[in-house]
Amino acid sequence: MKKYILTVVALVCFLSGWGQETKPRITIIATGGTIAGIAHTPAENAYTPAQLTVETLIRQIPQITHKASVQGLQLCNIASQHMTPGIWVRLASVVDSLFSGDHCDGVVVTHGTDTMEETAFFLDLVNTHENPVVFTGSMRPSNSPGADGPANLYNAVCLAADPAAGAKGVLVVMNEYIFSASGVTKTHTVNPQAFENPDHGPLGTIRGGNAVFYHPCHERPLPEKRFSIAELVYQDLPRVDIVLSYAGATSLLFDTLVENGTEGIVIAGVGHGNYSRQIENSAKKAVRQGIAVVRATRVLKGGVSSDTENTFEGQVVSRSLSPQKARILLMLALTVFREPAEIQHLFDQYP
Ligand code: GLU
């Protein structure tokens, strides 16, 4: 009888997982980039990105089994200059299904560094789950001396496995620093210390696989507006373009975009978001035609507010969002709103 009771207790314990260490379940979604790249010869600069599969990336960090139970998912394998809004939507749907079905506790996305900040920000705007989502990549290909991919991936999984990373919006981890998706930008073309938040700095750092978040006041409240990924799956996102301002810029590019059916234009202005008289005349005309115009800046720090030059009724200002992120918010905004005041309200969430 005693033997029978012990057997039943052992079976119940086994089935319930009692006594076993349960580690956070992390799904790594791989999209390509340099982290999956291979140098033509290890000493050469030239390399081809997006060569390794997610399984190979996971094999490069065997130590991770102490921190998390990891599974891989290959979404695509591309250099991130080829990223598209269609792939953003697919990624967001996959992340939504993973969390809705309780298939994992956290997600890591590996991505080329060139447009990582754009995909991360798009996901930040449409993800409604509080589970950690962390982007990472690398600046050096996988077989180069001092390849930074494995360390970045290890840190990203550790962060995604840490409950403290939940409800902070989508995060980016590069070179041991943690950033918010809305503030981070690539600021170096080749160096492993390539990512910064120029105005606010990093949210924290990773030491020995442990996340250290700096002062809570560095964290912005999450934006109140989230866009429904379920609805975005069935439509193409509105076309929004970026026009760069510079000394001597004419309105040729701006006018050409309007003639070719753009639904919104972000002006990457000089200084506090300024642009030439010619562009101003075209921008006013476009707003009268119902095309959304957002004034942003090509300058890295300070953002754009409305109390300055080049202000006119109906124009939206980007606040702290860079032109490439203002474009993404405007694309999503135009799926729901048309009134400049409503669109401005969304941008005001990024003071
Ligand atoms: N241009 C490539 C990409 O963004 C390589 C850059 C990188 O990943 O660091 O995927």
Catalytic member of 31, 34, 115, 119? 34
Residue 296 dihedral angles phi and psi, to the nearest 5° = -125, -170
CA–centroid distance, 35 to ligand 1, in Å, is 8
Residue nearest to atom 2 of ligand 1 (CA): 79
* Per-residue pLDDT band at 230 (split at 50, 70, 90): confident
Class of domain 239-347: alpha beta
pLDDT digits (tens, 9 = 90+) for 107-118: 999 999 999 999
pLDDT of residue 66: 96
For residue 2, the model assigns a pLDDT of: 53
What is the SS3 assignment for 184?
coil
33 lines ligand 1 (CB under 6 A): yes
Residue 45: per-residue pLDDT? 78
- pLDDT score, position 221: 60
Is the predicted pLDDT of residue 227 greater than 70, yes or no?
A: yes
Known catalytic residue at 34: yes
Q: How far is the CA of 79 from the centre of ligand 1 (A)?
A: 5
pLDDT-based confidence at residue 9 (cuts at 50, 70, 90): very low
pLDDT of residue 8: 46
Instruction: Give the CA dihedral 179, 181, 186, 191, nearest 10 degrees.
Output: 40
What is the average pLDDT value for the chain, to the nearest integer? 92
Output the pLDDT for position 251: 98
Distance 348 CA to ligand 1 centre (A): 31
- At 256 the pLDDT is 98
Instruction: Using a pLDDT cut of 70, give the percent of the chain over it.
Output: 91
| Two structure tokens written together for 282 | 């075209």
In this predicted model, what pLDDT tens digit does every residue of 101-154 receive, in sequence order? Answer: 999 999 999 999 999 999 999 999 999 999 999 999 999 999 999 999 999 999
* Amino acid code (one letter) for 170: V
The answer to whether the CB of 141 is under 6 A from ligand 1 is: no
With a 6 A CB cut-off, is 139 part of the ligand 1 pocket? yes
The best mutation among 75, 77, 80 to test binding of ligand 1, ranked by most ligand atoms within 8 Å of the C-beta, falls on 80
Identify the band that residue 223 occupies on the pLDDT scale cut at 50, 70 and 90. Answer: low
What's phi and psi for 168, nearest 5 deg? -115, 10
Band of the pLDDT at 21, cuts 50, 70, 90?
Answer: low
80 close to ligand 1 (CB < 6 Angstrom): yes
Ligand 1 contacts CB of residue 49 (under 6 A): yes
How confident is the model over 210-219, as pLDDT tens digits? 999 997 655 5
Q: Which atom of ligand 1 is nearest to the CA of 138?
A: 9
Ligand 1 within 6 A of 61 CB?
no
pLDDT at residue 276 tops 70: yes
Backbone phi, then psi, for 68, in 5-degree steps?
A: -155, 160
**Ligand 1 within 6 A of CB of 34:** yes
End-to-end CA distance of the chain: 70
Question: What's the CA-to-centroid distance between 114 and ligand 1, angstroms?
Answer: 5
Q: Whose CA is nearest to atom 8 of ligand 1?
A: 112
Q: How far apart are CA 184 and CA 242, in angstroms?
A: 19
Q: What number of helices (H) and strands (E) belong to the chain?
A: 10, 16
Give yes or no for residue 12 having a pLDDT over 80.
no
- For residue 103, the CA-to-ligand 1 centroid distance in Å is 29
Same fold, 2-218 and 239-347: yes
| Residue 290 and residue 262 in contact, taking contact as beta carbons nearer than 8 Å | no
186 in helix, strand or coil?
strand
Q: Is 114 in the pocket of ligand 1 (CB under 6 A)?
A: yes
- Determine the distance separating the centroid of ligand 1 and the alpha carbon of 32, expressed in angstroms: 8
Q: What pLDDT score does 335 carry? A: 95
**Top mutation candidate among 52, 81, 185 for ligand 1, by most atoms within 8 Å of CB:** 81
Please check the confidence at residue 182 and state whether its pLDDT lies above 70. Answer: yes
Residue 139 CA: which ligand 1 atom is closest?
A: 9
Residue 113 Cβ < 6 Å to ligand 1: yes
Predicted confidence (pLDDT) per residue in 27-83, tens digit: 999 999 999 999 988 677 789 999 999 999 999 999 999 999 999 999 999 999 999
- How far apart, in whole angstroms, are the C-alpha atoms of residue 149 and residue 19? 34
Instruction: Judge: domain 2-218, CATH 3.40.109.10.
Output: no
What integer pLDDT is reported at residue 273 of this predicted model? 96
Q: Give the CA distances from residue 295 to residues 148, 314, 321, 339, in Å, rounded to whole numbers and listed in that order.
A: 36, 11, 10, 16
Q: Which atom of ligand 1 is nearest to the CA of 34?
A: 8
Q: Mean per-residue pLDDT for 18-33? A: 86
For the chain, give every domain's residue range: 2-218, 239-347
Of 329, 181, 197, 184, give the one whose Cα is nearest residue 266: 329
Distance 31 CA to ligand 1 centre (A): 11
Can you tell me the mean pLDDT for 9-36? 73
* CA 177/CA 174 separation, integer angstroms: 6
